[in-house]
Chains A and B, each alone.
Chain A
Amino acid sequence: MPALLVLEDGTTFRGEGFGAGGTTFGEVVFNTALSGYQEVVTDPSYRRQLVTMTYPHQGNYGVNRDDAESHTVQASGLIVREVSRTTSNHRSEESLDGYLARHGVVGISEVDTRRLTRRIRSVGAMRAGISTEILDADELVDRVRQSPGMEGADLATGAGTTEPYDAPAEGDARFRVVAYDFGMKRNILRLLTGAGCDVRVVPATTDPDDVLAHEPDGVFLSNGPGDPAAVKHGIAAIGRLLQEQTPLFGICLGHQLLGRAVGAQTYKMTFGHRGANQPVRNLASGQVEVTSHNHGFAVATESLPGDGPFGAVEQTHVNLNDDVNEGLRCRDVPAFSVQYHPEAAPGPHDARYLFADFVSLMEGAR
């Protein structure tokens, strides 16, 4: 099945369709992780994105029930050099091809993904489209140019649960935590419950007073897709929680929302960070953590306020490659967050200590 991929700047790639047939649009981004495609495509933060995996072989070990980060395939499309027609792993239940087809997601293979990546690196992440139906490049480019962009898009509202639910702690329940679900990855929930937290997961638009009524020891702000600036209700809710001195921990979008709530600015990066090899320095310990990333927006370091609505905010983590802010901590209220993914999935486990830090923060606030 021939397939076409075009970028908004007119760059064209021809390949073979896999997964579902059809036409799909989104922001084209690349991820450099060598393994973990199942976690990537099921991560809600990839909503409305066409994900290019830079490693050429994808699908080798199949797909299984345990490694999905949400209930479905979240990415709008997948771009690969080669998709495996066989799967080999003792846990494999399904091929990547079949998995995408079952979830109605379009994939394209046989693409010179390195050429594509170099294009994204030099021009920046941009709108793109994949189609097995429209094989005329000009026509597809036109359609791409009509599709919505990422900036200003509130994709987080609706990426997560629509109804609150409870996830009980593993072992003794030591803390009561409310998690704002902007598209939360399953492994975050696993690590929170594993750290002794009874977690109530609530929709992105939940009123903070309802959260406070639950008398949580802490509130978690999840990852999620889209532009943080557009998630106005989330930013407002965080402000209310900070007024109450509620211990807060945010990851990825949660970090950006916390940043905005305490008075910092966010901005769209050229092509972002997506991969499992990003070096981040923990400024307190000096250690370098190799970390999992997935963000196209970031908090502007210079905008972290010395004296903002919630007092002073300091940078705690920084990306060694490009000095982008990767973490912040409020000095005057009990809140901290990181831009990257300590829950990994996929990626290294170097930053798992942050879940323990959240526990300490909640303990300290008692």
Chain B
Amino acid sequence: MPKRDDIESILILGSGPIVIGQACEFDYSGVQACKALRREGYRVILVNSNPATIMTDPDVADATYVEPLQAAFVEKVIAAERPDALLPTLGGQTGLNVGLELAESGVLAQYGVELIGAGVDAIRVAEDRRLFSEAMAEIGLDVAAAVRATSVEEAQAFAQEHGFPLLVRASFTLGGAGSGMAHDQASFDRLVAEGIAASPIGEVQVDESLLGWKEYELEVMRDHADNCVVICSIENLDAMGVHTGDSITVAPAQTLTDVEYQQMRDAAFAVMRRVGVATGGSNVQFAVNPATGRQVVVEMNPRVSRSSALASKATGFPIAKIAALLAVGYTLDEIPNDITRETLAAFEPVIDYVVTKIPRFAFEKFPTADRELTTRMKSVGEVMAIGRTFKESVGKALRSLEDGTIGFTGQAGDLDDDALREALRIPHERRLLDVDAALTRGWDPAEVAQLTGYDPWFVDQLLQIVEIRREVRSCETLRNVDATLLRRAKRVGLSDAVLAAVLHTTEAAVRQRRREQGVVPVFKTVDTCSAEFQAHTPYHYSTYEEETEVEVSGRPTVVILGSGPNRIGQGIEFDYCCVHAVLALREAGFDTVMVNCNPETVSTDYDTADRLYFEPLTLEDVLAVTDVEAAGDLRGVLVQFGGQTPLKLAHALAEAGVPILGTPPEAIDRAEDRGRFGAILDQLGIPQPPGAVARSLDEAVTTAQRIGFPVLVRPSYVLGGRAMEIVYDTDHMHDWLERNAGEGDVLVDKFLESAVEVDVDAVFDGSEVFVGGVMEHIEEAGVHSGDSACVLPPYTLGRGQQHRLRDYTAAIAEALGTRGLINIQYAIRDDVIHVLEANPRASRTTPFVSKATGVPLAKVAARVMTGATLAQLRDEGLLPPVDGITGPEPGHVAVKEAVLPFNRFQGVDTMLGPEMRSTGEVMGIDTDFGVAYAKSQAGTNAMVLPAKGTVFVSIANRDKRAMIFPVKRLVELGFEVMATQGTAETLRRAGVQARLVHKVHEGTPTIVDHIAAGEVDLVLNTPSGSTGTRVDGYEIRTAAVSHGVPCITTLSGILAAIQGIEGLRENKVGVRSLQDYHAELAALRLSTHPH
């Protein structure tokens, strides 16, 4: 049956900000769906609060609303746009929940909007664990024994019957929030109580434990004619008990016989049919008892997911795109397979390689968080690697992680055997390396398998790597390693870096030896069909085999290096920039080549670049790509768009003779070397905070004393402000140095207290600068720019200051010698503009600026780096005649707010500081600052500002004076005030009556109890420098986060919040599409600066 013609417009919901459990995979799936549906002639309306997504590019949907993903806002969009249908299955759990809410509240019926993809009943059955279990029983499928409980007592009865361990899961939550494994009564009671609190319906499910069972997933699709196919099977290396998002996973399944696999396949289709997913993709998870083969259904997701993104990248089958087409009435046999062109989507992909996914964690950012991996997801990103064998693919995945791991080295730090045994038993981030270490020590593989719960087949694969590495090691020197052994070592995925470490030589020497011996990789193709049909999509991976399938063209070619796994400090923003670079260069006639290893991204969609290499972003792997591409007209490599990952490779690539386009590596050095950068600023007469590079501990202390506390300290060459801290005195300095010993040089800078921090994103073409935007931070200097909210246009800077910022930016870019993007952070105090740092690359704010101003900065930069001038780009129409400072002030305000993962890491302080800890961001856009700010808070979902209620105030002494007027304003707005002794007294003297509550150490009920009881709607808590109040504040902030109460920790944040609350109370919150805002701004520019 052809597509439906009774619907004309479709509303798609995105997934909002990047959080743990929901990353850029939904940008990838959303973009695919939008493109596919528009190509079919539908009008696509999109809601997503995340400005860093490709899907919110104004040319992806017909109308793009960067508005909070909450039913109230989406309802306004529905009222404005009157779509015929809503497709809720592409925006993760967030999109699904909002879609369900709109359906259940009658909004969809009221506006005549049809829910397509998954119906309300299907979503309910899939999401509600009891309904799901009942449904499974009905179709004769086995599930774990379970009970639902809304109180601890109810749950305890089940525990008595079944014994421990038991799995506790909160109903209707995301990524395993409110879940855990209880091994005893105490942990059980705690988990049940927490789960009930975390669940929006106050309910937990307690399950029979499947701990240690093998875990599998099938990605399945169904069309309305009931054709069902499996796209991919996935086997988890980590047994049941570790959230699948935190597990190392492998595709296809490796240890199931065909009989078992077909049983699973039949079950997956039965599940999809019974749950009632009429069309689209679903993910069904199974557990298999390794001793008996008993299979049980664990759960299903009636939507695209992180696993479906992985499955799409693993097979070349675009699940989200096909799901969108199925939702509008197509059947699988009506949709062509893009890769083979001659076959159809109605088939099951087969692969002739192995795919390994390894999650990426960020525990270094949360040192107090529990590192044990459980059913609650903790990873922030993932990498995928493709190899012909598991050995090759797991080795490639490991070196893709960029966490300092070069591959399997056999080292496990200084763990003794007992400690190593424990490390194998308890799932944690680096367990794979511990397995390598144990096998290197000669442990019995059976014991390793038993301790880890890894299937013995996988352990044997890892053992084979260890054995070949041992052979290499026994050669002692590189010269003794013959071509045969070198080839065998490469065939099991050992990196040049590992071989160099084993042979006590350099990576370059290994590479040279390999080339001399003809041991070089070939590139094969991901084609959905194991070569049965010819592939037309150049999606490649490297391997050590006999035949390469890359076909270079004669056209000028540019390689764009991606940003690798999502992590804190480096996320979707950089993928956005990479994709824009690709799009701009494709349009300008270049052949574009993408190299990346993050399966969640749009950049690794096979139709983004002309050629895609799914490869680790290491020197070895990137050089392998440039070697192959050099057969064509390779112009060079772009390292500016993928964040720190490719930038780190710039030097080595240049040394290896690969041309670096745009800003040359020397200019990168000039910006990153504090001494040289400082000298440039001195020469230009641009102020900077006094500071120095300390090369020893003593020097760091004396420098701090010389320039005066407080100082900002950090290790040199870091991204995301890792270990960066504001240090107030000598003791504190010693403490920091102790915690961060061995990090190399230390940068010590004067910290400018209560300065206004500003970010500038600009493009420099060698003679002219284009400032994309000036962003004023809401939090004062000292909060990492990635964690602080910012406003564009700046709300307190004068025109004169902005022009000075523009002049400084141009002067710095010119002096550094940059070509392309540059981001400069400034701090303004007493009308003096200080330069904090300059980053000659795409910044995290590049997409935000583009969304706020309608200027595609990353595209402009890509063109400039490949030779165009800004003047040319103005003529082409890619750039407006005026920039963010010379042009008119827009009629709207855009606020970017950071999203922090504190609800995932219990016991981690939520206080903001110089070390970045946010996972993502949202944008609020409106004509009114207060409303834009309120929207930005609502978009984060954790910080929905209340329009009325009770505010708890606890303020550091230095802020008390400044707090009086804001708190008075809240009282005027009708808020009741709650405060602890000191703050209450200050407020009372100013005429504000506050209800007195106990501090944490003053006896119950304390403020924490009040927060837990739901009596507080807003927490204002600024931490002071001294340790005592810090601890108290910590308890308060933690309680607020775990109970979902907005908690604001900076003075300026509080002021902005009050404007936001005013905006909400005046009820002037409307919605408007990005296309409208951009058109208005373009018209304004034209009226003030006609051509």
B-binding residues in A (CB < 8 A): 13, 30, 32-36, 38-39, 54-57, 60-61, 64, 66-67, 81-82, 84-91, 112-115, 117-118, 121, 275-279, 281, 286-288, 290, 320-322, 344-349
Chain B: CB-nearest residue to A118: B531
Taking A86-B456, A114-B547, A320-B344 as contacts, is the C-beta distance between A60 and B255 under 8 angstroms? yes
Taking A61-B255, A90-B292 as contacts, is the C-beta distance between A279 and B347 under 8 angstroms? yes
Smallest CB separation, B527 vs chain A (Å): 10
Smallest CB separation, B1070 vs chain A (Å): 47
Q: A residues within 8 A CB of B257? A: 35-36, 38, 61, 64, 67, 89, 91
Chain B: CB-nearest residue to A64: B257
Taking A81-B388, A91-B257, A117-B532 as contacts, is the C-beta distance between A54 and B350 under 8 angstroms? yes
Question: Which one of B265, B389, B534 contacts A81 once the chains associate, using CB atoms below 8 Å?
Answer: B389
Kindly state whether residue B343 has any CB partner on chain A within 8 Å: yes
Contact between B352 and A117 (Cβ–Cβ < 8 Å)? yes
Chain B: CB-nearest residue to A86: B460
Within 8 A of A (CB), among B185-235: 225-227, 229, 233
Smallest CB separation, B455 vs chain A (Å): 5
Contact between A32 and B530 (Cβ–Cβ < 8 Å)? yes
Per the bound structure, the CA–CA distance linking A60 and B457 in Å amounts to: 7
Smallest CB separation, B493 vs chain A (Å): 13
Kindly state whether residue B1013 has any CB partner on chain A within 8 Å: no
Smallest CB separation, A295 vs chain B (Å): 14
Taking A86-B460, A115-B545, A281-B333 as contacts, is the C-beta distance between A35 and B253 under 8 angstroms? yes
Kindly state whether residue B256 has any CB partner on chain A within 8 Å: yes
Taking A32-B530, A117-B531 as contacts, is the C-beta distance between A279 and B233 under 8 angstroms? no
Contact between B545 and A34 (Cβ–Cβ < 8 Å)? no
Per the bound structure, the CA–CA distance linking A91 and B291 in Å amounts to: 9
Going nearest first, the 4 A-B pairs with the smallest beta carbon separation are A36-B258, A346-B258, A54-B530, A88-B457
Smallest CB separation, A272 vs chain B (Å): 10
Smallest CB separation, B447 vs chain A (Å): 15
Within 8 A of A (CB), among B243-298: 252-262, 265-266, 290-293
Q: A residues within 8 A CB of B714? A: none
Contact between B524 and A114 (Cβ–Cβ < 8 Å)? yes
27 contacts between A and B (CB under 8 A): A32-B350, A32-B530, A33-B350, A34-B252, A35-B257, A54-B352, A54-B531, A61-B257, A66-B259, A82-B389, A88-B456, A89-B257, A90-B291, A112-B545, A113-B352, A114-B547, A117-B530, A118-B547, A121-B533, A275-B532, A277-B347, A277-B349, A279-B343, A287-B226, A320-B333, A320-B347, A348-B262
Smallest CB separation, B155 vs chain A (Å): 33
Contact between B348 and A277 (Cβ–Cβ < 8 Å)? yes
Per the bound structure, the CA–CA distance linking A288 and B545 in Å amounts to: 36
Q: B residues within 8 A CB of A81? A: 388-389
Given contacts A84-B460, A112-B546, A346-B258, 8 further A-B contacts (CB under 8 A): A32-B532, A34-B233, A57-B389, A67-B257, A84-B457, A121-B531, A288-B346, A321-B533
Per the bound structure, the CA–CA distance linking A91 and B294 in Å amounts to: 12
Chain B: CB-nearest residue to A34: B252
Kindly state whether residue B390 has any CB partner on chain A within 8 Å: yes
Q: B residues within 8 A CB of A36? A: 257-258
Chain A: CB-nearest residue to B340: A321
Kindly state whether residue B351 has any CB partner on chain A within 8 Å: yes
Chain B: CB-nearest residue to A13: B546
Kindly state whether residue B353 has any CB partner on chain A within 8 Å: yes
Kindly state whether residue B743 has any CB partner on chain A within 8 Å: no
Smallest CB separation, A275 vs chain B (Å): 6
Q: B residues within 8 A CB of A56? A: 352-354, 388-389
Q: B residues within 8 A CB of A32? A: 350, 352, 529-530, 532
Q: A residues within 8 A CB of B351? A: 34, 55
Question: Which one of A61, A85, A286, A321 contacts B347 once the chains associate, using CB atoms below 8 Å?
Answer: A321
Per the bound structure, the CA–CA distance linking A288 and B228 in Å amounts to: 8
Kindly state whether residue B735 has any CB partner on chain A within 8 Å: no
Q: B residues within 8 A CB of A115? A: 545-547
Q: B residues within 8 A CB of A38? A: 257-258
Smallest CB separation, A353 vs chain B (Å): 13
Smallest CB separation, A257 vs chain B (Å): 26
Per the bound structure, the CA–CA distance linking A115 and B544 in Å amounts to: 12
Per the bound structure, the CA–CA distance linking A82 and B254 in Å amounts to: 13
Per the bound structure, the CA–CA distance linking A88 and B293 in Å amounts to: 12
Contact between B346 and A345 (Cβ–Cβ < 8 Å)? no
Per the bound structure, the CA–CA distance linking A276 and B252 in Å amounts to: 14
Kindly state whether residue B699 has any CB partner on chain A within 8 Å: no
Q: B residues within 8 A CB of A89? A: 255-257, 260, 293
Smallest CB separation, A274 vs chain B (Å): 9
Contact between A275 and B258 (Cβ–Cβ < 8 Å)? no
Chain B: CB-nearest residue to A287: B227
Smallest CB separation, B79 vs chain A (Å): 40
Per the bound structure, the CA–CA distance linking A67 and B290 in Å amounts to: 18
Contact between A88 and B389 (Cβ–Cβ < 8 Å)? no
Per the bound structure, the CA–CA distance linking A347 and B291 in Å amounts to: 24
Q: A residues within 8 A CB of B343? A: 279, 320-321
Kindly state whether residue B342 has any CB partner on chain A within 8 Å: yes
Question: Which one of A57, A118, A288, A346 contacts B390 once the chains associate, using CB atoms below 8 Å?
Answer: A57
Per the bound structure, the CA–CA distance linking A61 and B259 in Å amounts to: 11
Contact between A290 and B530 (Cβ–Cβ < 8 Å)? no
Taking A34-B252, A321-B347 as contacts, is the C-beta distance between A114 and B352 under 8 angstroms? yes
Per the bound structure, the CA–CA distance linking A56 and B260 in Å amounts to: 20
Question: Which one of B227, B293, B333, B349 contacts A91 once the chains associate, using CB atoms below 8 Å?
Answer: B293
Contact between B531 and A57 (Cβ–Cβ < 8 Å)? no
Q: A residues within 8 A CB of B546? A: 13, 112, 115
Within 8 A of A (CB), among B517-556: 524, 529-534, 545-547, 549
Per the bound structure, the CA–CA distance linking A349 and B332 in Å amounts to: 19
Q: B residues within 8 A CB of A121? A: 531-534
Chain B: CB-nearest residue to A88: B457
Chain A: CB-nearest residue to B223: A288
